Amino acid sequence: MTLAADTFDFVATLVRDRSAIQLDRGKEYLVESRLAPLARSAGATDVDAFVRALRADISQHESVVEALTTNETSWFRDLHPYTVLRSTVIPALATAGRSPVRIWSAACSTGQEPYSIAMTLADNFPSLKAHIVATDIADNVLAKGRSGRFTQLEINRGLPAPMLVKHFERQGPCFEIAPHLRNRVMFRKHNLLEQPPGGGPYDIVFLRNVLIYFDVVTKRSVLARVRAALAPGGYLFLGAAETTIGVDDTWERIQVERGCVYRTREGKRI
């Protein structure tokens, strides 16, 4: 069954208004597949019927936005950011006397990114004091991150075997990250359309693989908020397919080894 045009338009508008994520025509299949489980749970005959009821039931709107939020994630995704973090960024911050180092992992999904950061710090800078704030718009993924428990399938997505042995314990069918690492990460609910979470100013912000879902105007507003939350001389990590070039010229892209970081122009030295 093809999703009705007015159903798609309502959902696309709701998601855009709540999260700034753009759902363009051609994504009807995505809306239908993501909302089908909610429709079944609600006893609706199909997604169109579910959305018709949804128009008058705002209590379900948040669950729809969560269902349409992409939660693609993996351990040490793209690897280069963590290499740059270890080889260049943390040593530069240590030399500058930053302590504790404050890190914001934005749009963190189920926690693999902030825990990858925590493991990088623990293995390479054991005496470093650091606070990691991890945020996402969806309650369900935040709950998963806080639990620190991951299935074998989730573990297999990028976690090196030595780190599994060193930093996780088997708990039935799952693996649980060590308490001292779990306690190092503070998970909070946050919408990137809102003011940055408390805990800053941040020395490092990971805002990876999320700007690609926004239009240019929203990208600029999000980058402006991040800039306001970043400490002088702080570092911004974006996804491999993302850039500030042509979007916000107050940032400068700096090549570091095989990766790159972004800094505001007044703090461009590395």
Known active-site residue 136: yes
CB within 8 Å of 212: residues ≥ 6 apart: 239, 241, 242
Nearest alpha-carbon partner for 65 in 112, 113, 111, 23: 23
- Would strands 251-256 and 259-264 be described as parallel, antiparallel, or unpaired? antiparallel
Out of 34, 98, 208, 263, pick the active-site residue: 34
Between helix 28-41 and helix 61-68 the angle, nearest 10°, is: 130
Nearest alpha-carbon partner for 167 in 109, 228, 122, 208: 122
Nearest alpha-carbon partner for 145 in 171, 179, 109, 103: 109
Known active-site residue 98: no
What's the rounded Cα separation, in Å, for the pair 153 and 128? 31
The helix (H) or strand (E) run that includes residue 164 is: helix 161-167
Out of 48, 136, 203, 248, pick the active-site residue: 136
Give the residue numbers marked as catalytic: 34, 136
